[in-house]
Structure 1
Amino acid sequence: MFADDVRLAYTTVRSYRWVASRWPKKRRQAGISHTIHQVLASVPDEQERVEAVTNPPPGARPVPGMA
């Protein structure tokens, strides 16, 4: 019903919810896009996932306007 209310596909809302469940608010990183959080959400080990987002690879570009 929520997907209908916000006029998004059910699968989109389900995907957003899954990513959010893998990244509790205290673990989300300002300046890192939702897309990067989504990609890293598939890393099964939480510690490895958090390490990957808090220490981006050299040359990784920040998202404009999100720093």
Structure 2
Amino acid sequence: MTFEQARLAAAQAKADELIAAIAETLDGAPLLRVAVTDPETNTRLATGFVTYQTDGAPLRLVTS
């Protein structure tokens, strides 16, 4: 395995670990998509979702 392959394998493993640690899914909750990208290759290594809460009432679309 070359140095670059070893680096990418280590980066992929860490990205997977990070997303697994923070990923959340709650029905109806607002979500943020979190992506882990290798800055050297600009390759997305992992993607997950996290929820957040707002202090006030949720915004609603009102049409006239």
Using the size of structure 1 for normalisation, the TM-score is: 0.31
Task: Point out the structure with max Rg over C-alpha.
Answer: 2
Higher strand residue share: 2
Higher helix residue share: 1
Using the size of structure 2 for normalisation, the TM-score is: 0.32
